[in-house]
Amino acid sequence: MEDQISMGDQFLASIIRIIEENIDNENFSVEHLADKAGLSRSMLHRKIKKLTGKSVSDYITIIRLNHAKKLLKNNVATVSEVAFRVGFSNPSYFIKVFKNYFDVTPGDVLKDPKIKLSQLPTGLKSDILSPAKSKISRSLVLTIVIIILIITGAGLYYFFNLRKSKERSIAVLPLKNITGQPGNDYFIEGMHDALIGELGKIESLRVISRTSTLRYRDSNMLLPDIAKELGVNIIVEGTVQCLGDSLCFIMQMINVFPKERHLLSNEYYDDMHNVLKLQSNAVKDIAQKIRIKLTKDEEQLLAKTHTINPESYKAYLRGMYHLNQGTEESFDIGIKYLAGAIKKDPGDPFAYAGLALGYAIRGHGAIVPPESFRSAVAAAEKALIIDPTSAEAHTALALIYLYQHWDWPKAKDAFEKAITSNPNNEIAHAHFAWYHVLMGDMEKSIYHSKTAVDLNPLSAAFASWLAWLYFINEEYDNAEYWAKKSLEMNKDVPWGNVVLGWTYLEKKQYEKAIEAHEKLPGNTPRWKYFRVRTYLLAGNREKAMEIWNETEEYAEKNWVNPYFRGLMACTFGFNDKAFELLNDAYINRYYPITYIESSPESEFIKDDPRYHALLQKMNLPYNKTLITSLE
């Protein structure tokens, strides 16, 4: 018995060592641990479960949390910095998990480093979860203590210098309009967006996107609460005043944790012609103050400013203001302003890039207007002729190559150029994730999706996309968590309910699945098709057939994406009809036909040779590998 315990102790010690060596790698997964331990995933699960009573995933998290506790007790870094150091990309989530496990917040430990272990919940005093009261040899305990002391010592040195050298994350709150003219809101919002874009060019700085910060425009929340919600260390506030073509920008920067401390308070004056230079100077001052060393490429990107035509720039900002409203009507207004900006100054890349991205995003949907893609390509190419580093133009081309042209190498190249130009480009990261889905690389897919969520933490859409990716990767608990999180942000976000319903189906919780899918918007075929499989699996074929008949009757007089009709047909075994419709979707390149592998509904036709032929025609590397393995 003693030999068995000793072997178990040695095994756990080796597992802990592997996890500790990868403690700051947020992507370190169960698969990575199994590979480094030289075991299959199932064998690793059985051994960890037997010795600790925990799943491998939970055990990795527990080691991360215990390491975080030590760093916090030594007061070597802020809560956000500790979160990143132990592999949590989202400080808010880290705080939640830490509180659930230790019953105290990380902030409580930071405030009182002498907090005793006895104050934590019973049963959580050891650094690892050992088998039910099994004894660990004294030599093993001593070894672990020595390892921890070495790591903690290194951590003290690293974080002491880190806090002096740089901060990792920043949010620029909506700028205040003190021009006295509400009609200038478009210009103020444009400057806000531009500052975020300029800061985003710094790879070592995580910059929260405009859409997540806009909710604090008229907020009375305290800065620490905003910082916690966004998961950042630093907050930037500012005001803008205009007088004719003269511009005054007043900026202050606050380091929020562990207590509020003003880092910078500057005023910038210039005329409208030099607004780009003014913004660049502000960004350089921010980088210098928080001691971020810019790379040569970053210095060149930030130095690339030029004088602008004030009227053209104002028209550009008005155009982007309306595009960002997200409605069909405001989109058309925005396009008109951008076209006017180009007319006023054909040599300025901003309006071309804005047009390209606007058209590309508009064209990414179930009903794809071909003219949107053609217009996006033309505008992007003109923007890149003028400015080859335009992140917006590269992003627009990436979306076109991915969703319309199906040119996978060009899509990859465009995404990489977009992210190189702006590492904090959340749109590029969010859609690059879907490129990697097609390539069969779910690890990279989830990485980019999580990055998009970190950059835009209050986006319900991005959170629901991450949930979908976890579902594709068969991580159903994570899928359910992110689906619910997206619905907490916006109860009407469609993909939150789609994925939530799918996870309930996997768990055979049919009533919950029906409830989730019945919350999908309206009665259009775009969303109704999800309910067909749900009702079939729940045993209500009559209800499923009723939805199919309604859809086919509607399709007699209205256009319905054949992709959705095809997936409906295959769930009933109407395979000839299904492939007729799916091939129509392929021929016309109707989104999202390339993602049929990611749709649970396709399970009904995967044994049909016509399905494999359809995948081959789309020239997807992942699908070719899949087909070869099936043959």
Digit-coded pLDDT (tens) for 570-585: 999 999 999 999 999 9
Residue 390: both structure tokens together? 């335009």
Q: 571 Cβ partners below 8 Å, 6+ apart?
A: 532, 533, 536, 544, 601, 604
> Token digits for 256?
């929020």
Do 406 and 619 form a contact (C-beta atoms < 8 A)? Answer: yes
Domain 169-307 -> CATH class: alpha beta
Tokens (6 digits) for 526: 């775009």
Distance, CA of 575 to CA of 605 (rounded, Å): 7
Q: Please, how many CA atoms are within 13 Å of residue 265, restricted to the half-sphere of its CB?
A: 3
Higher pLDDT, 208 or 130: 208
Q: What is the pLDDT of residue 40?
A: 61
Predicted TM-score of the model (pTM): 0.68
Phi, psi of 236 (to 5 degrees): -115, 130
The single residue listed with the structure tokens 């203590």 is 145
Which pLDDT band, with edges at 50, 70 and 90, does 52 fall under? Answer: confident
Q: Kindly give the pairing relationship between strand 246-255 and strand 234-243.
A: antiparallel
Whether the Cβ atoms of residue 204 and residue 175 lie closer than 8 Å to each other: no
**Cα–Cα distance for residue pair 173/187, rounded to 1 Å:** 15
Average pLDDT of the residues in 483-508: 94
Helices (H), 387-493: 391-400, 408-421, 426-439, 442-455, 460-472, 476-489
Cβ atoms of 80 and 168 closer than 8 Å: yes
Task: State the Cα–Cα distance between residues 27 and 231, nearest whole angstrom.
Answer: 18
* pLDDT band for position 160 (cuts 50, 70, 90): very low
Q: 261: which strand partners?
A: 255
Phi, psi of 158 (to 5 degrees): -65, -50
Handedness of CA 600, 605, 607, 611 (dihedral sign): negative
Least confident of 274-278, 423-427, 539-543, 622-626: 622-626
Query: Across the strands, what pairs with 171?
Result: 235
- Greater confidence, 423 or 74? 423
**Structural contact between residues 346 and 386, judged by C-beta atoms closer than 8 angstroms:** no
Q: Please, which contacts does 127-130 make with residues 24 or more away whose CB atoms are closer than 8 Å?
A: 127/66, 128/12, 128/16, 128/52, 128/62, 128/63, 128/66, 129/52, 129/53, 129/54, 129/59, 129/62, 130/12, 130/51, 130/52
- Answer yes or no: CATH 1.10.3720.10 is held by domain 2-165: no
**Would you say the C-alpha torsion 127, 131, 133, 137 has a positive or negative sign?**
negative
Q: Which residues pair with 380 in a beta bridge?
A: none
Q: What pLDDT is recorded for position 127?
A: 37
Please report which confidence band the pLDDT of residue 359 belongs to, taking 50, 70 and 90 as the band edges.
Answer: confident
